[in-house]
Structure 1
Amino acid sequence: MSGRIAALDVLRGVAILGTFGTNVWVFTHPRGAAGFLADFGAGSGDTATALLQMISNGKFLGLLSIMFGIGLAIQHRSAERRGRPWPGWYLWRSALLLFEGLLHYALVFEFDVLMFYAVVSVLVAYLVGRGPRVQLAWMAAAGALNLAVVGLITAALLLTGGTAVGDPGLAPVGDSWWAGVQARVEHFAVFRAEGFLVLPLSTLLFLAGARLFRAGALEDSPRGARLQRRLVAWGLGLGVPLNVATTLAGPAWFAVDRYVCAPLVAFGLLGGITLLVNALRAEAGPLRRGLTAVGRSALSCYIGQNVLASVLCYQWGLGLAQRWGHLGPWFTAGVWLLVSGLLPAGASWWMRRFPRGPVEAVWDRAYRAPQRQHTVAA
């Protein structure tokens, strides 16, 4: 397989905008992150809210995790072709991602995923070059650990009535941006708890993404199409009904919904979107071009959408959440539509003029700087 993979950037773009569909509920809550956490897993009591949350809850975060695994496999394949040691400089890439995630967490958003992806990428970098048996053993162990944690959470919620995950008792963040920074630093353990919880699941999805890439899951070929159809059949044919069932079953099943059913649907999305992109032979239209631009500047867009939502919703910005948050899912959907319209338009404008997104450009220079010094010293 040579050349750029047609579906790769589209998948990344969908994952980025879909992930914002999960995160937007944090921004649009009238009490911000503190209120979101207090209500997390408690059930919406509103059909429209339940349906919208079901669409976004965990699925695109799962797809984003799979895409990170695919990206890691691409980096590994490139290193092998060039005869470079592995993981080698990839560990510096992980360190930069960790630093970027820390900055994003502290300055912008309580539920950043980049920090945890950086940690998982180090482990998976050492596993991606190992044999299939070793990788399958790690996947089985990670999957079993995830199921055990989900089972414990679900059992506890069923025994206690499953009315809520639990209010951490955080005071609402102040009106200033600096107050938000201070709150994120002070309550690091609370805001980062879910990230630690899903480390086994992330490991499983990273490894699955790497293995699917090697198996040809993104290929525009008969082999690729067969695998894509299987992903759709299992991921959507089984995952969606299970997802609906756990949503309707009540808040006690939210962990099964978010950490078991949603990742299953993510595999279906991977297969379905790839199958669709590979089937479209005509020139890309505005939608596909916009998603491709977002996918090519994924880090910039991931951070940018959270910055935009902060400006729109928080009190140090336009303060729309306190004014319109009482409208519930309609306000949330409106913010998602607005940001998801601005982002592809802005990304398309930028990518027509520059080879990389703004964050990617800075990141690439930081990644290459020590390599140049190492080459000069040698």
Structure 2
Amino acid sequence: MKLQPVALNERIEAIDLMRGFALLGILLVNMLTFHSPYAYVDPYTWFSGSPNAEVFSFIDIFVQASFYPLFSILFGYGLGMQYLRAQQKNAAFAPLAVRRLAVLLVIGMIHAFLIWYGDILITYAVTGFLLLTMIRIPSAWLLGLAAIIYTVPHTLMLLLLFVAVAVDPNFYTGMQEVQSSLAAYPTGTFAEIFSQRLDDWLYHNNFLNFLVMILTILPFLMVGAAAAKWQLIERTARYKKLWIGLATIPLAAGLALKLTPFLFDANYAFVYVQNIFGGPLLAAGYAAIIALVAQHSGISKLLKPLSKAGRMSLTIYITQSIIATTIFYSYGLGLYGQVSVLSGTVIALGIFAVQLIFAEIWFLKFDQGPLEKIWRKLSYQVNFKKSPNSKP
């Protein structure tokens, strides 16, 4: 039997709602890199002065490193759901999954090298391939293995960072990279921007960094796949006590760890504690709150625009980069390096509001986002057909 795309009536509202919420958080964080050389500076001094410092602190505590883990877990959850569907229909899972991930890899490469260097889709595709080799492992073992893969290397890295900051507590500022970015993105030719984008991608995806990213993202996918096998989101009402626990203890612990650079010292070690250990805990708390909120039909209806954005998450993610780079790069308005954190955040909220409106209009006629349709066509090898749920 051949697997088919998920029908509209099979979609799970809470998952789409989580994706939509994660897309907003991802944009708020990515906006710092869209409009400034964020990756090469000490953000705690670079974004100084009121209200920049306050806005950055809010993003740093409540948003930074808390939404890509949520989105990664949901990506793994999606793969886990597809695996379960294949089992139920006695259909081959691996060929379809490999095609979907291969297409995603190509989309990620186009995104990274022609639009914005901060792409995450390449990492998702690579870690997705790794997850396929483990998808048959029982959920409890998958969860335990994920914990080991995540905590052991990151704990060792944290110990090394505490040693390093004892020698030199200052952040490294790449002045050459900052100057190069400020010269290329707002005023450079497309060729110069491409060259800078490639340099930035290679800088952030050297062997060590990419290995750290794999060891970070892969466990999230494994957690998502394990949760999908248990159908934790579909059975939120049955596991209500678990979700309430996740909405309290991890949320509180995550917030405490996210505050460490502000309570102690803003150095590499405490920022690592904040992002690597605090971020995922906060993400678990956010996910739990959304899962519980989705059980209330009235609140769920109010948040419907977010869930519609989540239904076209690939389209939303890519168009965020297209819109933002058009605003800040020379082939658009050329505002790179010229806006404050507050202004950038307002722009991000404006972009997301426009995307919510676009999603509302799009789903009046179609049941999938435009890039999702392309992804489906290339993955399932089917022709575009109007859904029976679509309006004429």
TM range (shorter): 0.7 to 0.9
**What residue number does 2:26 align with?**
19
Match for 2:314: what amino acid?
L
Whether the 8 Å CA contact 1:146–1:198 is kept in 2: the answer is: no
Larger mean Cα displacement after TM superposition, 271-280 or 135-144: 135-144
Whether the 8 Å CA contact 1:289–1:348 is kept in 2: the answer is: no
Could you tell me the percent identity over the aligned residues?
21
**What residue number does 1:146 align with?**
154
Q: 1:101: how far off?
A: 0.6
Q: 1:362: how far off?
A: 1.2
Whether the 8 Å CA contact 1:21–1:336 is kept in 2: the answer is: yes
Q: Which runs of 5+ in 1 are unaligned?
A: 30-34, 372-378
**What residue number does 1:274 align with?**
291
CA distance in 2, matches of 1:133, 1:221: 18
**What residue number does 2:56 align with?**
49
Change (3 A) 1:276 1:187: closer
Give RMSD over aligned pairs: 2.3
Q: 1:301: how far off?
A: 0.4
Whether the 8 Å CA contact 1:290–1:348 is kept in 2: the answer is: yes
Larger mean Cα displacement after TM superposition, 143-152 or 333-342: 143-152
Per the alignment, in what secondary structure is the counterpart of residue 127 of structure 1?
Answer: coil
Q: 1:196: how far off?
A: 3.6
**What residue number does 1:245 align with?**
260
Change (3 A) 1:337 1:78: same
Q: 1:293: how far off?
A: 1.5
Q: 1:41: how far off?
A: 5.7
Whether the 8 Å CA contact 1:217–1:227 is kept in 2: the answer is: no
Q: Which runs of 5+ in 2 are unaligned?
A: 1-8, 384-392
Change (3 A) 1:79 1:336: same
Whether the 8 Å CA contact 2:74–2:224 is kept in 1: the answer is: yes
Larger mean Cα displacement after TM superposition, 223-232 or 264-273: 223-232
CA distance in 1, matches of 2:61, 2:367: 36
Confirm or deny that 1:157 pairs with 2:168: no
Confirm or deny that 1:304 pairs with 2:319: yes
CA distance in 1, matches of 2:355, 2:210: 26
**What residue number does 1:330 align with?**
342
Q: 1:248: how far off?
A: 3.4
CA distance in 2, matches of 1:133, 1:330: 44
Q: How does 1:6-155 map to 2 (within 5 A)?
A: 6-29=13-36, 35-40=37-42, 43=45, 44-45=47-48, 46-132=53-139, 134-143=141-150, 144-155=152-163
Name the one with the larger helix percent: 1
Match for 1:248: what amino acid?
L
Change (3 A) 1:319 1:77: same
**What residue number does 2:307 align with?**
292
Whether the 8 Å CA contact 1:28–1:321 is kept in 2: the answer is: yes
CA distance in 1, matches of 2:20, 2:222: 21
Match for 2:156: what amino acid?
A
Match for 1:177: what amino acid?
F
CA distance in 1, matches of 2:122, 2:158: 22
Match of 1:215 among 209, 223, 230: 230
Match for 1:150: what amino acid?
L
CA deviations on 1:276-319 (whole Å, 9 max, x unpaired) are: 1112346713xx22211111110000000111111112222112
Confirm or deny that 1:185 pairs with 2:198: yes
Change (3 A) 1:140 1:181: same
Match for 1:124: what amino acid?
L
Match for 1:160: what amino acid?
D
Q: 1:72: how far off?
A: 0.9
Change (3 A) 1:315 1:322: farther
Larger mean Cα displacement after TM superposition, 225-234 or 172-181: 172-181
Q: 1:53: how far off?
A: 2.5
CA distance in 1, matches of 2:244, 2:253: 13
CA distance in 2, matches of 1:94, 1:283: 31
Match for 1:70: what amino acid?
Y
Q: 1:40: how far off?
A: 4.9
Whether the 8 Å CA contact 1:236–1:265 is kept in 2: the answer is: yes
Match of 2:275 among 235, 248, 258: 258
Match for 2:164: what amino acid?
A
Whether the 8 Å CA contact 1:232–1:269 is kept in 2: the answer is: yes
Confirm or deny that 1:368 pairs with 2:363: no
CA distance in 1, matches of 2:285, 2:308: 23
Whether the 8 Å CA contact 2:64–2:275 is kept in 1: the answer is: yes
Per the alignment, in what secondary structure is the counterpart of residue 319 of structure 1?
Answer: coil
Change (3 A) 1:47 1:242: same
Per the alignment, in what secondary structure is the counterpart of residue 133 of structure 2?
Answer: helix
Per the alignment, in what secondary structure is the counterpart of residue 263 of structure 2?
Answer: helix
CA deviations on 1:322-367 (whole Å, 9 max, x unpaired) are: 44x2xx2211221111111111111211122112111111111111
Give me the TM-score of the superposition, normalised by structure 2. 0.85
Per the alignment, in what secondary structure is the counterpart of residue 265 of structure 1?
Answer: helix
Whether the 8 Å CA contact 1:116–1:196 is kept in 2: the answer is: no
CA distance in 2, matches of 1:247, 1:280: 39
Q: 1:200: how far off?
A: 1.0
Q: 1:37: how far off?
A: 2.0
Change (3 A) 1:283 1:75: closer
**What residue number does 2:330 align with?**
315
CA distance in 1, matches of 2:262, 2:218: 25
**What residue number does 2:3 align with?**
none
**What residue number does 1:32 align with?**
none
